[in-house]
Amino acid sequence: MISSRPQHNEPHPFPVIDNCLHIGGLALTRLAARIGKTPFYAYDRQLLTDKVRVLRDKLPADVHLHYAMKANPMPAVVQHMASLVDGLDVASAVEMHVALDTVMPAARISFAGPGKQESDLACAIAAGIVINLESELEMQRAARIGTQMGMVPQVAVRVNPDFELKSSGMKMSGGAKQFGIDAEQVPNVLKRMAGLDLAFMGFHIFSGSQNLKAESIMDAQEKSIALALDLAEHAPAPMQLLNIGGGFGIPYFPGEHALDVDAIGQNLAKLLHNAKSRLAGAQVILELGRYLVGEAGIYVCRVIDRKISRGQIFLVVDGGLHHHLAASGNFGQVIRKNYPVAVGNAMQHDALETVSVVGPLCTPLDLLADKMQLPHAEAGDLIVIFQSGAYGLSASPTHFLSQAAAAEVLV
Ligand X SMILES: *Cc1c(COP(=O)(O)O)cnc(C)c1O
Nearer to ligand X, 91 or 298 (CB): 91
Distance CA 291, CA 212 (A): 10
Query: According to the binding rule CB under 6 A, does residue 108 interact with ligand X?
Result: no
326 contributes a contact to ligand X by CB under 6 A: no
C-alpha closest to that of 87 among 258, 201, 164, 186: 201
Of the candidates 102, 110, 210, 328, which one interacts with ligand X according to CB under 6 A?
210
Looking at 92-100, 202-210, 213-221, 367-375, which segment touches ligand X (CB under 6 A)? 202-210
Q: Which of residues 22 and 204 has its CB atom nearest to ligand X in the complex?
A: 204
Q: Angle at which helices 186-193 and 136-149 pack, to 10 degrees?
A: 20
Piece of 31-39, 67-75, 215-223, 400-408 that binds ligand X (CB under 6 A): 67-75
Residue 311 CB coordination number (10 Å): 6
All residues at 6 or more sequence positions from 182 whose CB lies less than 8 Å from its CB, including other chains:
159, 160, 162
Site for ligand X in 224-243 (CB under 6 A): none
Beta-carbon contacts of 225 under 8 Å, excluding residues fewer than 6 positions away, are 242, 244, 271, 272, 275, 279, 284
Closer by beta carbon to ligand X, 168 or else 403: 168
Instruction: Give the max Cα distance, the chain.
Output: 73
> Among 38, 209, 388, 396, which residue interacts with ligand X (rule: CB under 6 A)?
209
Residue from 95, 287, 366, 381 binding ligand X (CB under 6 A): 287
Q: List the beta strands (DSSP E) in 37-188.
A: 40-43, 64-68, 87-90, 109-111, 130-133, 154-160, 168-171, 181-182
Selected from 22, 70, 108, 141, the binder of ligand X by CB under 6 A is 70
With CB under 6 A as the contact rule, the residue among 189, 288, 327, 383 that binds ligand X is 288
Looking at the Cβ atoms of 68 and 303, the one nearer to ligand X is 68
Q: Is 64 helix (H, G, I), strand (E, B) or coil?
A: strand
Contact between 95 and ligand X (CB under 6 A)?
Answer: no
Residue 142 is which amino acid?
A: A
289 binds ligand X (CB under 6 A): yes
d(CA 114, CA 132): 9
Looking at 14, 40, 67, 291, which residue binds ligand X (CB under 6 A)?
A: 291
The answer to whether 206 contacts ligand X (rule: CB under 6 A) is: yes
Which amino acid is residue 94, in one-letter code? V
Residue 74 binds ligand X (CB under 6 A)? no
Positions that interact with ligand X (CB under 6 A): 68, 70-71, 89, 112, 206, 209-210, 246, 287-291, 390
